[in-house]
Amino acid sequence: MSRRLAEVARKVGVSEATVSRVLNGKPGVSEATREAVLTALDVLGYERPTKLRGEKARLVGLVLPELANPIFPAFAEVVGGALAQKGFTPVLCTQTAGGITEAEYVELLLGQQVSGIVFAGGLYAQRAARHDHYERLTARSLPVVLMNASIDELPFPRVACDDEVAVEQALGHLASLGHTRIGLVLGPADHVPSERKLSAARAMAERLGLDLPGDRVARSAYSLESGQAATARLLRTGVTGLVCASDVLALGAVRAARRAGLSVPDDVSVVGYDDSALMNCTDPPLTTVRQPIEPMGRAAIDLLVAQIEGQAVAHDELLFEPELVVRGSTAPAR
C-alpha cells in the first residue's frame, strides 16, 4: 500500500497524504487533484478502490453478442430496468460482424471505470474461444455476472435457464404427439448450452425408446440462414419433428421445410427455444420453450450489485425453470 501511495504521489506531484485522502474518499482535495490521482492509478496499473469505480455515473457494462436475435434486446430491457432501479446506468455493448470484439469492449469498459459488467451470451460459453479478457476482469476483481451457461473454469456467478429441462420439455412434447424420427438443430459443438441440450436429448430419447443417431443432429450458427441450411440436411433423413436451440433457428427450420415442399406442422413439427418477441405472430405461431428472462435478469443484477457493495457472492450457477409454450407449429405425427 505504501509503495502504491508513493508511486502515485510522485506521478501526480502531491503528498502521499493527499493520495490517501482520495483513495479513502475523504474531503479536502480539489476535484482536479482527485481526478489526477485516479488517472495515475489507472496509468500505473493499480486497481481503483471498489467504491471509486464508476463513481460519478455508476456505470455498468452490458455486453450482448448481437441484436438480431430478439431475445437479446429483451434481456437488455430487463437488465437495464433492474439496473435503473438500483441507481446504475447501463453501457450497452453490442457486437456486429467485423465490428468491435468482446475483448475490445472489455477494454473500453475498463477505461470507462464501470462498476461491473453483465454478459448476456458471449465467448464464455464456447470452449474453443479465447478467454484472456475474462482473466483480465478476474485480475482486476471487477464484479461480473454471466447470463446462461459458461465453461466451468471462469470464476463468476452465473444465471442460466435449465437447458436440460428445456430439451426434455420439447422432446417430450414431440414424442407425446407420436413423433419418433426427431432431429436437433443446435449451435456449435463447443457451445456449452448446445452440449447440455444434446446430452439431455440423448438421455431423454433413451428413456422414451427413441433413436437419435448422429445424422439427426445438425450444427449451425445462430442465424435464420444457418438454421435453414441445417434443417435442409436433416429433412433428408426423414425427420418429422425438430427441436431447435433458438427461435431464430426454428424460423429457419420452417423456411427450409417450406422450400422442400413440406407443410409445418402437417409434415414437420418445429419447436423453438426462447419465446422471443412476436413468436406468437409467426406463420404458424411457434411452439417454443420460454426462458424466464424477467426473474433471470433481476437475479443477475442482484448478484452484481451485491458484489459492487463488497458482499461475498457464491459462484454457483442459478438455474431457472423454462416453460413449454404450445402453439401452431407442432401437430400429431402422420
pLDDT tens-digit series, residues 42-80: 777 777 776 666 554 589 999 999 888 999 999 999 999
One domain, residues 69 and 157: yes
- How many residues are recorded in the chain? 334
Whether 149 is covered by a domain: the verdict is yes
Q: Residue 143 in contact with residue 308, Cβ under 8 Å? A: yes
One domain, residues 25 and 71: no
C-alpha pair distances (Å), 177 with each of 57, 203, 235 = 54, 19, 19
Q: Is the pLDDT of residue 104 over 90?
A: yes
One domain, residues 177 and 279: yes
Q: Is the pLDDT of residue 1 over 70?
A: no
One domain, residues 279 and 236: yes
- Look at residue 54 in the predicted model and tell me its pLDDT: 57
Angle among Cα 288, 212, 206 to the nearest 5 degrees reads 90
Q: Say what the pTM is.
A: 0.83
- DSSP states of 243-269 as a string? EESSHHHHHHHHHHHHHTT--TTTT-E
Strand order in the sheet with 59-64: 89-94, 59-64, 116-120, 144-147, 158-161, 317-320
One domain, residues 309 and 200: no
Cα separation, 242 vs 235, in Å, equals 9
Whether 328 is covered by a domain: the verdict is no
Whether 327 is covered by a domain: the verdict is no
Q: Residue 53 in contact with residue 69, Cβ under 8 Å? A: no
One domain, residues 96 and 244: no
One domain, residues 174 and 255: yes
Short-list 237, 242, 261, CA closest to 252: 242
One domain, residues 82 and 129: yes
One domain, residues 176 and 286: yes
Whether 121 is covered by a domain: the verdict is yes
Domain boundary among 291, 308, 328: 291
Q: Residue 126 in contact with residue 188, Cβ under 8 Å? A: yes
Domain range enclosing 35: 2-46
Cα separation, 221 vs 277, in Å, equals 20
Q: Is the pLDDT of residue 271 over 80?
A: yes
Digit-coded pLDDT (tens) for 177-232: 999 999 999 999 999 999 999 999 999 999 999 999 999 999 999 999 999 999 99
Whether 53 is covered by a domain: the verdict is no
The CATH number of the domain holding residue 24 is 1.10.260.40
Whether 284 is covered by a domain: the verdict is yes
The CATH number of the domain holding residue 222 is 3.40.50.2300
- Look at residue 52 in the predicted model and tell me its pLDDT: 60
Q: Is the pLDDT of residue 35 over 80?
A: no
One domain, residues 152 and 299: yes
Q: Residue 204 in contact with residue 167, Cβ under 8 Å? A: yes
- Look at residue 55 in the predicted model and tell me its pLDDT: 54
One domain, residues 156 and 304: yes
One domain, residues 260 and 299: no
In the chain, the N- to C-terminal Cα span, in Å, equals: 74
Digit-coded pLDDT (tens) for 106-161: 999 998 889 999 999 899 999 999 999 999 999 989 999 999 999 999 999 999 99
Whether 186 is covered by a domain: the verdict is yes
- DSSP states of 197-239 as a string? HHHHHHHHHHHHT----GGGEEE--SSHHHHHHHHHHHHTTT-
How many domains is the chain built from?
Answer: 3
Whether 153 is covered by a domain: the verdict is yes
